[in-house]
Amino acid sequence: MRKLLISALLVGASLVAPGTFAQELAEGRNYITLSSPVPTVQPEKIEVVELFWYGCPHCYQLEAAINPWSAKLPEDVNFVRVPAMFGGIWNMHGQLFYTLETLKADESVHNSIFNALHNAGRKLSSVDEIAEFVAQQGIDKDLFKKTWNSFSVKSQMEKAKKLALAYQISGVPAIVVNGKYRFDIGMAGGLQETVDVADALIEKERQAQ
């Protein structure tokens, strides 16, 4: 398993006060510019990608800040979650994410997965265990297993792996704005500051258009 990018110490740190990033955002400190821009899904919108893993404790902690933030984004912003897949259980959980996406599962199911892994001691480390778990969330087990092995899910997984390489990530959570700028919680200075940096980079892109 890859080492996560950030530590609990970095999560608790604060580089600048919330709400000041529009003035103080600094390349190399709060974000890096990718050497090669990555095409976005909807070029007419400003894209924000969160790369995550269900088993990552910092990804779980970030949910409290990023969920209400993403729910209120303006029409010109497209928020996308992309599971990072570094092999093993990471890939299995990435396949779980895309199976649920294909089935158009309610957002509450994703929340239940985070809770199961971080609060209930569940591992969700086999297809049978995962299928039993999602059935408890109201998803048909047979349909889930059929979708799990579908071409659509496998294709989305391959695209996600290529994106992670293009974004040059080595851990999660990582945020990429409009295929150009990448940062993590440590660079932002904290959980809430992560969405502040995202907002500042979104505005930076608006000004550039």
* Partners of 46 in the β-ladder: 77
The predicted pLDDT at position 23 comes to: 52
pTM for the whole thing?
0.89
| Strand arrangement of the beta sheet that strand 174-177 belongs to | 32-33, 181-184, 174-177, 46-52, 77-83
What residue ranges do the domains of the chain occupy? 8-208
Question: What digits encode the pLDDT tens for the residues 154-177?
Answer: 999 999 999 999 999 999 999 999
Whose tokens are 């971080």? That residue is 118
**Helix (H) / strand (E) containing 80:** strand 77-83
* Partners of 175 in the β-ladder: 50, 183
Q: Residue range 106-131: average pLDDT?
A: 97
Q: For residues 51 and 85, what is the distance between their CA atoms, to the nearest angstrom? A: 10
- CATH superfamily name and code, 8-208: Glutaredoxin (3.40.30.10)
